Structure 1
Amino acid sequence: MSRRTLLRAIGAGAALAGPAVLAGCGVPAAYVEPGDRAARDDSGHDRSLDFANWPLYIDTDDENTSERPTLDAFTERTGISVTYTEEINDNDEFFGKISPALMNHQETGRDLIVVSDWMAARFVRLGWVQEMDRTKQPNVTRYLDPQLRSPAFDKGRLHSVPWQSGITGIAYNRRKLGRELRRTSDLWADDLRGRVTLLSGLDESFALLMQADGVDITRWTADDFHAVCDRLEKLVRRRHIRRFTGNDYIKDLDTGDVVACQAYSGDVIQLQADNPDIEFVVPEEGGELWAESLMIPNLARHKRNAEALVDHYYRPEVAAELASWVNYVCPVPAARDVLASSKDEETAALAEDPLIFPDDVMRRRLAIARDIASQERADFARRWNSLVGL
C-alpha cells in the first residue's frame, strides 16, 4: 500500500468550495480571522498531543510494528506522549471529516495533521490553521530544503512544514518497451497506444502535462489548462490512454498491463526493489515537486507540543531514519550525510538515490505548481472529471 493513496476527483459541493460559495449555500462564511484561531495552550501541564497522519507514513520497528522508533525517541527526549492515528486516507474525505468543526469555530481533537499541499492551500485560504512559532523550531529554520521554503499558497511556510516530499514524473518498464523515455511527449508514441495510464486526480495530474508544453507551472493560466485538456480529449478518443488511475497504476506497471505511466517517485522506489526493469524519469521538460505538510489546526490544545514534534523531525538524524523507511524525497537535505555515514551498505546507498535526495541536475527540472484557486476549481473540475470519466 502506498503512502499516496487514491485521491478522489473533486466535485463542486459545499465542502470543497471557497468561503463565498459556502456563504451562498446558506451556511456561515467559513473564513476564520487570525485572532480567532488560537485556543488556550495546555502544553505546559499536559505533555501530550494528537497527531493524525496517512497509513504507512512513519517508520515502524521491524519486529513490532506497533512501535514507531522516531516517535518513541521524541517521547523519551521530551516527555511528550503522542497519540498517533492513521486516519487520513483521502484529502477530500478528511477535509469533510473536520471541516464542520473548523467552520463552526470548534476544536477538531487533533493537534497536528498531514495533508497534501493542494489541500493545505485550502486550509490556509480559509484561515483554518495556525501560524507556527519558528523561534521554537530552530531545526526547521536551519534544515528545511530551500526549494520547499516558500510555496505560492503559504509564503515563507508560516502555516505548514513538509512532512515528506516527492516528484510526479514518468515510470516505465524499460525491458518491455525496449528503449528509454526522456520526455512526457514520448508517452504519445504510436507503439504505446493503449499501454499508457495517467493519474485521475486533477491536482495530481495536470502540472506534469502542462510542463510537457513548456509551461511555467508556478504561474500557469486557464488557457494552459484547457490546452492540456484539448490534447487529452483527442488521445482518449483514439484510445491511446488505457485509463486514468489512482495508485492502482502500481499494480498495472508491475504486472506489465501497462508499459508507461504518470507516477510518483516514492512508489517507484518500492517497485524497483522487486522489479529492476522499472525506471523513473523526471522528464526533460520538467517534473512536479510536491509535498505533504504538517499543519496545526485552529483551537489545537497542544500547539507548543505540536511545534516541538515538527522540529524533532527536522533533526537530520531523525529525518534520515524516517527517509530510510518511507523512501520519498527527504525535505531535510542534511539527512543525506547521516545516511551516507551508515555502516549498513543498503542504508548508505539511499544517500545516493536522486529520488530521495535529488541532485542539482534533477532539481533544475523540478518546480512547485501554483495551486488551483477557489474561483477556478469548479469549472476546471467539471471539465477534468468529464474527461477522465469521473
Structure 2
Amino acid sequence: MTKRNLTRQIPSGVSRRSFLAGTGAVAAGLTFSGKGFAAEEKVLNFYNWDTYIGETTLDDFSDATGVSVNMDLFADNDELFAKLKAGNPGYDVIVPTNDYVERMISADMLVKLDHSKIPNIKNVDPAFLNPAFDPGRTYSLPYMWGSIGIGYRKSRVDAVPDSWKVLYDSDKYAGKIALLAAPSTVLQVGCKYLGYPLNESDPAVLEKVADMLIKQKPNIKVFAEDNGQDLLLSGEVDLTMEWNGDILQVMAEDDDISYVVPKEGGLLWEDTLCIPTGAPHPENAHAFINFLLDAKAGAAIADFIQYATPNAAAKALMSDEYRNNPAIFPTDEVIRNSETAIYQGTDYTQLVDRLWTKIGAA
C-alpha cells in the first residue's frame, strides 16, 4: 500500500484493462445505487492507501454516476486517524484497518451506514458480516484482508526465513533488513516472536520488545514507510516486513522475490470502507461503497492489487491461481497461529508512542 504507479502490471497473463473488459467491469455492467445524486454535488473525496484501488475503478464509477472522485493518500492508520481527529477536512470515504475502526467509533469519528443504500452487501462473504470490532457492520464494510509477513529475495537467503528472528533478533542479514515504520504493528509482532499474545498489554513485556528492537537497530537498514517491497525490488534490502499484497505485487516483477508468514504466526488484518463524521457527500459515499462491493468491480480491484477479497461474488469470478494462492489467502495453519489486532484504549496507545520514541532515540 505504498506510493507506486497504479499502471504497474500484476500477473495474470493479461493487462489490467484486458481483465476489466473481459469481466465486463465497466460502467454499464456494474450494479450500484444512484439514490441521492440529485441532492448533492457530483463529487466524492476518497482517502485511501496507495496502490489500493483498481486501475480504472474511479473512472468507472465516474462514468456510471457522473460523480468525479478525488483520491488522497495516507501512509498508515496513524496518519489517517490524526488527520480525521483534527476535524474532517472534507473526506467522504476512508479505509481504516479493523482496530482503528474500533478506535474511531470510540472517538465518534464515523457515521452509521445506511444498509438500504448498499444493496451489494449481499456479495460479502457471511464470515465478514459480524466482526467483533463492528458488530452488525454498523459503521464499516469489508474491503480487503490479509497478513503481514516477510518478503525476501530467494537468492540472498540460505533458507526460507520462517521465523521473525531474522528481522528482530539476528545479525545474519545486518544492513539488509527493513521493518515497517508502524509502532503498534512492530511491537505486536515482536510480542508474537517472544511467545506472547499479539495484543499483549503488559508494560514490562512491551518494554522487553522495545529493548530487543533497540539492540537490533544496528542491523536494520530502515523502518520503512510501507515501501519495503520497493526496497526489496531495488535490492536495497534482502528481507522486509510487509503487507502480503505489496510483496505479491513485486513478486510479479521479479521471480526471485517470495513471501512467508513466520512459524510464530503474524498479524491478520482487515481494511474497511467507512464514512467519516462530517462527510460532505454522504449519499455519494454510500453509492461509492456499494459500487466497490459490486462483484465485477470487486474482482477487477482484487486482480489488480493482489489482496484477498472478502467479496464472495467477486472471488467467484477470479482465477484458480488467485483463489488458491496461500500468499493471498492464508493457510489454515497460518490463521491458527496468527491474531488480529484489537484497540486497547488510550493508555496502551500512549505506551506504544512512548516506546516508539525510545526506540527512535536510541
Please classify the TM superposition score into its range, dividing by the shorter chain length: 0.7 to 0.9
| 1:146 and 2:140 are equivalent in the alignment | no
| 1:110 and 2:100 are equivalent in the alignment | no
Q: Distance in 1 between matches of 2:212 and 2:307?
A: 31
Task: Provide Cα deviations, 1:81-110, integer angstroms capped at 9, x if missing partner.
Answer: 3331121334455545444445xxxxx533
Shift of the 177–272 alpha-carbon distance from structure 1 to 2, 3 Å rule, reads same
Task: Provide Cα deviations, 1:240-298, integer angstroms capped at 9, x if missing partner.
Answer: 33332223423332233322221111111111112211111111211212233221122
| 1:203 and 2:203 are equivalent in the alignment | no
Find the residue that maps to 1:362 and give its secondary structure. helix
- Superposition deviation, residue 149 in structure 1: 4.3
Indicate which of 330, 348, 352 corresponds to 1:358: 330
| 1:181 and 2:161 are equivalent in the alignment | yes
Indicate which of 338, 342, 345 corresponds to 2:317: 338
| 1:216 and 2:197 are equivalent in the alignment | yes
- Superposition deviation, residue 2 in structure 1: 2.3
Question: Which residue of structure 2 lines up, in the alignment, with residue 367 of structure 1?
Answer: 339
Contact residue 144 and residue 309 of structure 2 kept, 8 A? yes
Indicate which of 264, 271, 277 corresponds to 1:292: 271
Question: Which residue of structure 2 lines up, in the alignment, with residue 388 of structure 1?
Answer: 360
With normalisation by structure 2, the TM-score equals 0.78
Indicate which of 42, 47, 52 corresponds to 2:46: 52
Q: What percent identity do the matched residue pairs reach?
A: 25
Q: Distance in 2 between matches of 1:141 and 1:369?
A: 26
Q: Distance in 2 between matches of 1:166 and 1:3?
A: 19
Contact residue 189 and residue 266 of structure 2 kept, 8 A? yes
Indicate which of 214, 222, 228 corresponds to 1:243: 222
Question: Which residue of structure 2 lines up, in the alignment, with residue 85 of structure 1?
Answer: 70
- Superposition deviation, residue 351 in structure 1: 2.8
Question: Which residue of structure 2 lines up, in the alignment, with residue 166 of structure 1?
Answer: 146
Q: Distance in 1 between matches of 2:117 and 2:262?
A: 39
Q: Distance in 2 between matches of 1:266 and 1:319?
A: 15
RMSD: 3.1
With normalisation by structure 1, the TM-score equals 0.73
Contact residue 168 and residue 265 of structure 1 kept, 8 A? yes
Shift of the 314–182 alpha-carbon distance from structure 1 to 2, 3 Å rule, reads same
Q: Distance in 1 between matches of 2:130 and 2:60?
A: 24
Shift of the 212–97 alpha-carbon distance from structure 1 to 2, 3 Å rule, reads closer
Question: Which residue of structure 2 lines up, in the alignment, with residue 11 of structure 1?
Answer: none
Find the residue that maps to 1:261 and give its secondary structure. strand
Find the residue that maps to 1:234 and give its secondary structure. helix
Contact residue 191 and residue 206 of structure 2 kept, 8 A? yes
Gaps of 5+ in 2: 5-34
Q: Distance in 1 between matches of 2:78 and 2:248?
A: 26
Q: Distance in 1 between matches of 2:91 and 2:141?
A: 16
Question: Which residue of structure 1 lines up, in the alignment, with residue 212 of structure 2?
Answer: 231
Q: Distance in 1 between matches of 2:126 and 2:165?
A: 30
Contact residue 217 and residue 370 of structure 1 kept, 8 A? no
Letter in 2 for 1:60: E
Contact residue 112 and residue 306 of structure 1 kept, 8 A? yes
Q: How many residues align?
A: 329
Question: Which residue of structure 2 lines up, in the alignment, with residue 19 of structure 1?
Answer: none
Find the residue that maps to 1:179 and give its secondary structure. coil
Shift of the 186–389 alpha-carbon distance from structure 1 to 2, 3 Å rule, reads same
Question: Which residue of structure 1 lines up, in the alignment, with residue 101 of structure 2?
Answer: 120
Gaps of 5+ in 1: 5-40, 62-66, 103-107, 341-347
Q: Distance in 1 between matches of 2:161 and 2:58?
A: 39
